[in-house]
Amino acid sequence: MTATAAPPSTQLDVRPTAGYIGAEILGVDLSQPLAPEVVAEIRAVLLQWKVVFFRDQHISQAQHLEFARQFGAPTPAHPTLPALFPEFPEILLLDNKKMADGGEKKTAPMIESRWHTDVTFVTNPPMASILRGVVVPPYGGDTQWINLVVAYERLSKPIQDMIDGLHAVHPNQLPVKRGDLPPALFKQFLGSGIRSVHPVVRVHPETGEKSLFVNPNFTSHIVELSRQEGRRVLEMLYEHMADAEFSTRFRWQPGSIAFWDNRATAHLVPTDIPPGAHRSMQRITLAGDIPVGPDGSTSYALEGEDAFG
């Protein structure tokens, strides 16, 4: 694989969770400000393993936000959805009961779970996401991530050469029928319409690695190809990137935190939450840069906001 940041050499106990992605970090207390060298180490581990996990971090919303600020600038909670915490407009609530009408339904609306990278419909998708487990079901509800750098590197050279110069449209869409979401929530998510064009392959601004930058959730079509051709290419890439070899799976516990590089990963929302069980998570995203392709092309807005954060 392409060379990445040098592994840290210090005091943190880093335990990889899978062959190509994911590492648990022990020996750090996220309720307290971190020393600069510890921040640098965590960033190095993140760049190497793409997603890092922390256990037993029973922190407040304020501490969650302060932890995030040590790695970048927190964005508003979401480009279109309302922030539900007036004192912390940077925190997005992801709650399976709150997503139902008035919080009264026993199950969440039927949003199809697809691999996705967060908020790619804006021109500068978040650099990273930091998700905190607040209410965790007794079983089920795991999240999975895939390493899109390794996925790109495992493609044949002819396919790499072809997609290096392609660009795709990313609209703010949801894989759900209108009637499956509360009407107000459905309308809020769509907003006034946001669409951006991104390179199909992006160059990581910190490591120089190439990674796939399409996802089944927020990518509609490839600009340079006919809809039929583009659909076949995207189907091939989606099937390839979902290979279990490129993935890791995280079992949530109360106080668990997942921190992932949104520029080099996609993740999958769980569908195996037990009926009637409550799962409530809180997410902060960090402002990202405008993606750049191998040919030097940059992302641009087609409709709506042209920057986020």
Is 118 one of the annotated active-site residues of the chain?
yes
At residue 231, the 3 state secondary structure works out as helix
Calpha distance 165→41 (Å, rounded): 34
Residue 125's Cβ-count burial label (10 Å; 0-12, 13-18, 19+) is buried
Contact at 8 Å (CB) between 61 and 282? yes
Give exposure, 81-106, as e/b (b: 16+ Cβ within 10 Å): eeeeeeebebbbbebbbebbeeeeee
Gap between the Cα atoms of 149 and 21, Å rounded: 10
Asked if residue 56 lies in contact with residue 255, where contact means CB atoms within 8 angstroms, the answer is yes
Pairing of strands 300-303, 195-199: antiparallel
227 is catalytic: no
Strand partners, 197: 169, 300
Whether 283 is catalytic is yes
Q: What is the DSSP letter of 83?
A: P
**Amino acid in the structure at residue 175:** P
Q: State how far the Cα of 167 lies from the Cα of 219, in Å rounded to an integer.
A: 10
Residue 192 to residue 170: CA distance in whole angstroms = 15
Q: Which of 64, 118, 167, 263 is catalytic?
A: 118
For 18, the token pair is: 């899978």
- How far, CA to CA in Å, does 145 sit from each of 2, 227, 236, 268? 19, 28, 19, 6
User: Out of 43, 64, 195, 267, which one is annotated catalytic?
Assistant: 267
Annotated active-site residue in 114, 116, 221, 231: 116
Active-site annotation holds for 170 = no
Helices (H) and strands (E) in the chain, counts: 6, 16
- The single residue of 43, 64, 198, 283 carrying the catalytic annotation is 283
Active site residues: 116, 118, 267, 283
